[in-house]
């Protein structure tokens, strides 16, 4: 079974290489903390916050998923080279229409270092 690597706050990690390793593989959810019921709501998923990940043919982020609790909202799949083979941060904006409180989380998959899970993000949904 694939290990699910979970994000840990890198400010509490001492070793620089480990900070980099954790940060560049972790998906981050960037969105408002409130959404309007029945209206389109943007959720950015970004892999790496302070550090960058390679986009090499043998080492790249192959997909990200956006979840609401146990429900998959969307999956974006990439082939190597989308980021011009530069060190960078995979980024994708999903647009969803919420009907009730969101418990968002994201997963990202690196072809060398496996599956990573974001911190959860709660979004209040107001009428």
Site mask, a copy of itself, residues 53-82, x = CB under 8 A?
A: --xxxx---x----x-xxxxxxxxxxxxxx
Distance CA 77, CA 75 (A): 6
Q: Which of these ranges, 8-16, 18-26, 107-115, lies near a copy of itself under the rule CB under 8 A?
A: 107-115
Least distance CB 127 / a copy of itself (angstroms): 13
Cα first-last separation, the chain: 41
Interface with a copy of itself includes 117 (CB under 8 A)? yes
In the bound state with a copy of itself, the residue whose beta carbon lies nearer, of 49 and 75, is 75
102, containing H or E segment = strand 102-110
Residue 7 CB, shortest distance to a copy of itself, in Å, is: 10
Could you give the count of Cα atoms lying within 13 Å of 111 in the half-sphere of its Cβ? 13
Q: Select the residue interacting with a copy of itself from 98, 101, 126, 127 (CB under 8 A).
A: 98
- Helix (H), strand (E), coil (C) string for 3-68: CEEECCCHHHCCCHHHHHHHHHHCEEEECCCEEECCCCEEEEEEECCCCCECCECCECEEEEEEEE
Q: How many residues bind a copy of itself (CB under 8 A)?
A: 51
Positions that interact with a copy of itself (CB under 8 A): 1-4, 6, 38, 40, 55-58, 62, 67, 69-84, 86, 88, 90-99, 105, 107, 109, 111, 113-115, 117-118, 120
């Amino acid at each position: 079974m694939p290990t699910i690597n979970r994000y840990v706050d890198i400010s509490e990690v001492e070793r620089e290489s480990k900070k980099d390793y954790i940060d560049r593989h972790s998906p981050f959810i960037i969105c408002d903390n409130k959404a309007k019921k029945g209206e389109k709501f943007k959720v950015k998923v970004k892999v790496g916050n302070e550090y960058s990940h390679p986009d090499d043919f043998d080492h790249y982020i192959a997909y990200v998923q956006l979840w609401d609790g146990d429900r998959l909202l969307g999956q974006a799949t990439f082939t190597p080279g989308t980021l011009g083979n530069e060190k960078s941060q995979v980024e994708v904006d999903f647009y969803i229409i919420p009907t009730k409180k969101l418990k968002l989380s994201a997963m990202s998959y690196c072809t060398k270092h496996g599956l990573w899970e974001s911190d959860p993000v709660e979004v209040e949904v107001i009428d």
